[in-house]
Amino acid sequence: MAYPPGQTTEEYEVQFGTNHIGHSLLTKKLLPLLTRTASSSPRSDVRVVSVSSVAHKFSPSGGIQLDTLKSTASGMSNNDCYGHNKLANILFIRGLATHHSEIIAASIHPGTVKTDLQKSNDGSWMINVFQKVVVPLIGISVEEGAKSQLWAATAKGVQSGEYYVPVGVSGEGSQLSKDKALARKLWDWTETELESYIG
């Protein structure tokens, strides 16, 4: 969360490389097993759950900015970068649901969970206030935060492609998170980027 500027060894902006490219690659490598399992029985229930965040609403106004993804994104604040990759998590799940209807794919916001994640701070006053004032006041335990993931992974009625806030509430995503053209653009870009890693 709000990690200092940098790049992965593959030259992606560090937060985007970690939170989107890495997760997408893992999902893509698991897809043959997931699709085989889903088709093995009409009662199979194969799911992919992505942990996003309400912080996706802090992504830049134009949504996913593809020209910043193979850079340090120096024109964006660390908070913008975090929002950027959390938006990508939601859009990727929407794309996965579109391209693989045999799998239930959902993204969730776990809530404001009291963990050490908030300790990684770039020194921005906004993050400091959030960590020192907001999280202690409204933050929930790790056990409470896990309920959203568990719900999305096990509950009946989870809608594939949907973004949920605690616990199981849909319809709370930003307009950008519902943008089908943006989801398609990110999906296509990600597929191209991952080609060299799939062997």
pLDDT tens by residue, 24-81:
999 999 999 999 999 998 888 999 999 999 989 988 888 898 888 998 888 888 788 8
Who's near 197: CB < 8 A, 6+ residues apart? 25
Report the range of poorest mean pLDDT among 43-52, 120-129, 133-142: 120-129
Tokens of 109: 């916001």
What SS3 state is found at 7? strand
Q: CA dihedral defined by 166, 113, 154, 85, rounded to 10 degrees? A: 90
Q: What is the pLDDT of residue 119?
A: 61
The Cα–Cα gap between 50 and 36 comes to 21
pLDDT band per the 50, 70, 90 thresholds, residue 138:
confident
Tokens of 177: 């998170």
Q: What is the pLDDT of residue 146?
A: 94
Measured CA angle at 177 (ends 95, 124), to 5 deg: 125
Report the range of poorest mean pLDDT among 47-61, 76-90, 99-113, 118-132: 118-132
CA distances from 198 to 13, 24, 191 (A): 20, 11, 10
What SS3 state is found at 175? coil
- DSSP code for 19: I
Instruction: Output the pTM of the full model.
Output: 0.91
Q: What is the pLDDT of residue 78?
A: 79
Catalytic: which of 3, 12, 82, 164?
A: 82
pLDDT above 70: percentage of residues in the chain: 92
pLDDT band per the 50, 70, 90 thresholds, residue 124:
low
Report the range of poorest mean pLDDT among 12-21, 60-69, 176-185: 60-69
Average pLDDT for the chain = 90
Tokens of 116: 């050490």
Domains of the chain as residue ranges with CATH: 14-197 (3.40.50.720)
User: Does the annotation count 82 as an active-site position?
Assistant: yes
- DSSP code for 4: P
Q: What is the pLDDT of residue 159?
A: 98
169-170 and 163-165 beta bridge pairing: antiparallel
